[in-house]
Amino acid sequence: MKNFKWMPRGDASTLSLRLWEFTGTALVNLFVCILLVAVLSPLSYMVVTSLKSRFQLQDSFAPIWPATPMTYFYEGKVRLVYDVPTIYGVRQLALVEPHLKTSGFIDPAYPEGGIIEWQGYWRSLRRVYRPEITFENFEQLLNTIKYQQVMTNTLFVVLVSGIGVLLSSIAVAYGLSRFRIPGGKYLFILLVATIIIPDSILLIPSFVMYTHVLGWNTGYLRFLPLTVPYFFGSAVYIFLLRQNFKSIPRDLDEAAMLDGAGPLRILTTIILPQAVPAVTTVALLHFFNTWNELRMSSLFLTRSDMQTIAFTAQAAPVIGFTPEVLQASTLFLIVIPVIVLFVSQRFFMQDMVITGLEK
């Protein structure tokens, strides 16, 4: 009883609270890690598969990581190495005389010992693999698909349509948020209501108008249906920008007007610097949507020299690519958006801090 130390009730409550906070934080972190692994598992499988050889994918006993079979050069031929069960345990032996019931093996570590006879069906044995990454799948893609041409076409569509959608959406959002337009409230509601219209309903009317009415179905005019409509704005982007512009205090506009600034100068010097995160978000959303867009492109960009990068993953099975090459083509498709998102995220968070949206 001499070692007993009385602890006040307040200290016990504090200890219990700290223990509960630690346990709760650990459980939340564990759940987030499990969720992250589940979300990234398809991407991890894609990366690993693209770095495998076709021979490894055809072997059901091959490891899940990129590897190549171990071989041994014997009597002028390359021999595969197998895990062979013997009375001394499992040994790594090279197959030199394959037969149905009794096969001959040789020990690569001690070839002087001669041929070792083993009774059994040799095809039931597991091959021995060593880790090795192969880039043959990417080389096959580069030799088959003209990535320089498809990248040029994709960047042209992305940049031209991106400039158009930013200019038009910013202008419309600025007008709806800062000017008193007769019936502006109802126009905005009508604009937002167009978001619920499925794109599949507009597909055939748009195709008929672009091809039969405007004649945008010959030569490089085929790029116009993918770029010109964005110069008339996007309902989703206008909604996002308009809500962001309305959150900027009007006192800044009035102060700029006292200095003689007009509407255009207020937009470029007051509104846009405060709305950099929103504009960046709109630009990123449009970039990702246009980069992966395939439905409209497949209607108009039917010529092989005008196709975008989204066609590469679709054309892979048609060309006859195997799964590992298909995964490599998909990596080519998503690597640039991932890089753009990573780079823009740094500027995006920096702009949020500078503009005072994050304290």
**3 state SS of 63:** coil
pTM for the predicted model, two decimal places: 0.71
- Which residues 6+ apart lie within 8 Å of 145 measured at CB? 312, 315, 329
C-alpha torsion 49→52→54→59, nearest 10: -90
Q: All domains of the chain, ordered by start, with CATH?
A: 67-131 (no CATH), 139-354 (1.10.3720.10)
Beta bridge mates, 83: 92, 126
Interior/surface letters 245-256, b for 16+ CB within 10 angstroms, e for the rest: beebeeeebeeb
Query: Which range has the worst mean pLDDT, 69-83, 192-206, 303-317?
Result: 303-317
Confidence of residue 4 (pLDDT cuts 50, 70, 90): very low
pLDDT per position as a tens digit, 53-80? 878 877 878 888 888 888 888 888 889 9
Q: Tell me whether residue 158 is exposed, middle or buried, using C-beta atoms within 10 angstroms of its C-beta: 0 to 12, 13 to 18, 19 or more.
A: buried
The tens digit of pLDDT for each residue in 223-261 reads 999 999 999 988 899 999 988 888 888 888 888 888 787
DSSP state of 228: G
Asked if residue 124 has pLDDT above 80, the reply is: yes
Measured between alpha carbons, how far is 94 from 98 in angstroms, rounded to an integer?
A: 10
Lookup: tokens for 175:
């007008």
Segment 6-11 shows an average pLDDT of 51
pLDDT at 13: 62
Q: What is the pLDDT of residues 16-26, one digit of tens each?
A: 667 777 787 88
